[in-house]
C-alpha cells in the first residue's frame, strides 16, 4: 500500500497542469477543426453538410482506432525517459513510426471498404455522390495523421508539449484557408466543394506532422545518430500495449455512433437536441482527455525512475484536477442547461429536449473525467487491458441495452438514451478509479 499525503498531491498538481493544459488546448484545437469543416460545408447546402457529417462519422472511429495502436508509446517512451534511457525512448519513436507506416494501408482499406456498404444501405444518391470523394480525400491524409500521432506521443514523453498545442491550433488556420480556397475556388484554386474540405484537412494534417517532425529534429539535433532501423520485437510490444487501447476507443466510438442512429429514429427535434448535447459534453471532455495524456506520461516517467510513491501521487493529482474541472462542468450543466442550449438554437422543441439531456449529462460529468484520467494513469503503469474491459462492460453490457429499452419500449425517447449513457459512464468510472488504486498500490 502506498499512502499519498496531501502535500505530495499539492506538489504534483502544478506540473500536471503545466503538461495537461497545453494538451487540453490541443484536444480543443482538434475538435475545432471538425466544427469549422461542418460550418463551412453548410454553405454548400444540406446535402453537402449531411455528406460531410456522414463521412466524418465513418472516417474517425476507424482512423482514431488506428492511432490508438500507437498509445503504447506513452508507456514505453515515458518509462524509458524516467529510467534515464533516452536511447530507448528514441527506439520507441522509431518503431512507432514503422508501426504507423504498416498501419496506413490497413486503416485505409477499412475506411474505403465502407463505401460499398453505403451503397447497400441505399444512402440518398446526392449525399453518396458527395461523400465518396470527400472520404477518399481524407484517406490520403491517413499516413500524415498516424505519423503526427507517433511524433506527439514521443514529444509528450520527453516533456515537450507546447509545440503540440501550437501545431493543432495553427492547423485550424491552415484548414480554414484550405477550405476557403478548395471548397469555394478562391485564390486561383478549383472549386471542389465538399471534396475540397477533405483535401484541406489532409493538407492540415501534413502541416501538423511537419511541425512535430521539425520539433523532434530540433530536440534531438545533438543526440547523434538516430536509431531508425526497425526492431520487430519492439513493434510487437507496441501492438500488445496499443491494441487494447485501440479496442477501447472503438468500443466507445461505436456506441456513440449507435446511439446517434437510435436518436435519428426519433423526431427531428430529439435528434438535434441529442447532437447538440453530444457537442457540449465532447467539448468538456477534451480537458480531462488532455490531463489523461499528461497522467500517462508523468506516471510512466515515475515508474521508469522506480519512484512508485511519486507515480501514485502523480496519478491521484491528475484525477483531482480532472475531477474538479468536470464536477464544476456538471454543476454548470445542472444549473444552466437552457442557457447553454440557447447558444446553439432558439427552437423551442430543441431547447426543451436539449436542456433535459444536459441535465442528465450533469450526473456523469464527474465520472467521465475520472474514467478517462484513470485510463491514462493506468496506461502509464503499462495496463491498457483494464480500461478496455471496463468500456466493453460499461457501454455494451449496461449502457447500450439500458439506452435502447428506456428509449423505445419504455417510451422515454432521447432522455432514455442519455440515462443509458450516464449509467455506462458512472459504472466505468466506478470500475477504473478503484482499479487505479489497486494497481498503484501494488506498483513496484
Distance CA 421, CA 417 (A): 6
Distance CA 296, CA 269 (A): 40
Burial profile 233-269: b = 16 or more Cβ within 10 angstroms, e = fewer: ebbebbbebbbbbbbbbbbbbebeebbbebbeebeeb
Burial class for 217, CB neighbours closer than 10 Å (0-12, 13-18, 19+) = exposed
pLDDT at 418: 96
Check whether 326 has a pLDDT greater than 80: yes
Check whether 127 has a pLDDT greater than 80: no
pLDDT at 163: 94
- Find out whether 276 and 55 touch, Cβ atoms under 8 Å: no
H or E stretch at 381: helix 365-381
Q: Say which residue, 345 or 74, is predicted with more confidence.
A: 74
Per-residue model confidence as pLDDT tens digits over 176-216:
999 999 999 998 888 898 899 999 999 999 999 999 999 99
pLDDT interval class at 419 (50, 70, 90): very high
Distance CA 124, CA 12 (A): 54
**Range list of β-strands (E), 136-214:** none
pLDDT at 145: 93
Region 423-441: what's the mean pLDDT? 95
- Find out whether 58 and 195 touch, Cβ atoms under 8 Å: no
pLDDT interval class at 124 (50, 70, 90): low
Q: Which of 42-51, 402-411, 430-439 has the lowest mean pLDDT?
A: 42-51
Per-residue model confidence as pLDDT tens digits over 91-118:
999 999 999 999 999 999 998 988 887 7
Alpha-carbon distance values, 180 to 141, 193, 201 (Å): 19, 10, 12
pLDDT at 200: 95
Q: Which of 111-115, 359-363, 428-432 has the lowest mean pLDDT?
A: 111-115
Region 331-337: what's the mean pLDDT? 96
Region 301-312: what's the mean pLDDT? 93
Check whether 1 has a pLDDT greater than 60: no
Per-residue model confidence as pLDDT tens digits over 370-379:
999 999 999 9
- Find out whether 290 and 168 touch, Cβ atoms under 8 Å: no
Distance CA 144, CA 101 (A): 10
- Find out whether 252 and 421 touch, Cβ atoms under 8 Å: no
- Find out whether 357 and 322 touch, Cβ atoms under 8 Å: no
pLDDT at 117: 79
Amino acid at each position: 500500500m502506498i499512502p499519498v499525503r496531501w502535500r505530495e498531491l499539492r506538489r504534483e498538481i502544478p506540473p500536471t497542469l503545466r503538461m495537461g493544459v497545453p494538451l487540453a488546448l490541443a484536444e480543443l484545437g482538434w475538435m475545432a477543426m471538425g466544427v469549422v469543416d461542418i460550418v463551412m460545408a453548410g454553405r454548400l447546402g444540406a446535402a453537402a453538410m449531411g455528406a460531410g457529417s456522414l463521412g466524418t462519422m465513418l472516417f474517425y472511429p476507424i482512423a482514431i482506432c488506428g492511432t490508438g495502436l500507437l498509445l503504447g508509446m506513452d508507456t514505453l517512451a515515458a518509462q524509458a525517459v524516467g529510467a534515464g534511457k533516452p536511447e530507448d525512448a528514441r527506439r520507441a519513436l522509431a518503431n512507432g513510426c514503422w508501426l504507423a507506416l504498416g498501419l496506413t494501408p490497413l486503416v485505409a482499406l477499412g475506411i474505403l471498404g465502407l463505401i460499398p456498404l453505403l451503397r447497400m444501405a441505399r444512402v440518398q444518391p446526392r449525399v453518396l455522390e458527395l461523400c465518396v470523394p470527400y472520404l477518399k480525400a481524407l484517406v490520403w491524409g491517413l499516413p500524415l495523421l498516424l505519423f503526427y500521432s507517433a511524433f506527439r506521443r514521443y514529444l509528450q514523453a520527453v516533456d515537450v508539449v507546447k509545440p503540440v498545442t501550437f501545431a493543432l491550433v495553427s492547423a485550424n488556420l491552415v484548414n480554414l484557408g484550405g477550405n476557403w480556397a478548395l471548397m469555394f475556388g478562391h485564390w486561383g484554386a478549383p472549386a471542389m466543394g465538399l471534396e475540397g474540405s477533405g483535401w484541406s484537412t489532409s493538407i492540415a494534417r501534413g502541416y501538423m506532422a511537419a511541425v512535430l517532425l521539425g520539433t523532434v529534429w530540433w530536440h534531438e539535433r545533438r543526440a547523434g545518430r538516430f536509431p531508425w532501423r526497425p526492431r520487430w520485437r519492439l513493434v510487437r510490444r507496441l501492438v500488445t500495449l496499443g491494441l487494447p487501447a485501440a479496442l477501447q476507443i472503438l468500443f466507445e466510438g461505436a456506441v456513440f455512433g449507435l446511439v446517434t442512429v437510435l436518436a435519428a429514429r426519433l423526431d427531428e427535434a430529439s435528434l438535434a437536441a441529442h447532437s447538440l448535447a453530444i457537442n457540449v459534453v465532447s467539448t468538456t471532455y477534451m480537458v480531462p482527455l488532455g490531463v489523461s495524456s499528461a497522467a500517462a506520461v508523468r506516471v510512466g516517467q515515475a515508474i521508469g525512475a522506480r519512484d512508485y510513491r511519486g507515480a501514485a501521487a502523480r496519478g491521484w493529482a491528475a484525477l483531482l484536477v480532472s475531477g474538479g474541472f468536470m464536477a464544476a462542468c456538471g454543476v454548470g450543466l445542472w444549473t444552466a442547461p437552457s442557457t447553454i442550449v440557447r447558444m446553439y438554437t432558439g427552437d423551442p422543441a430543441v431547447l426543451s429536449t436539449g436542456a433535459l439531456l444536459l441535465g442528465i449529462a450533469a450526473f456523469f460529468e464527474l465520472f467521465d473525467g475520472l474514467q478517462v484520467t484513470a485510463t491514462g494513469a493506468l496506461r502509464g503503469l503499462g495496463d491498457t487491458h483494464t480500461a478496455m474491459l471496463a468500456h466493453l462492460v460499461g457501454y455494451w453490457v449496461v449502457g447500450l441495452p439500458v439506452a435502447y429499452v428506456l428509449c423505445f419500449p419504455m417510451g422515454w425517447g432521447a432522455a432514455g438514451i442519455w440515462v443509458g449513457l450516464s449509467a455506462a459512464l458512472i459504472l466505468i468510472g466506478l470500475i477504473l478509479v478503484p482499479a487505479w488504486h489497486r494497481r498503484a498500490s501494488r506498483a513496484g
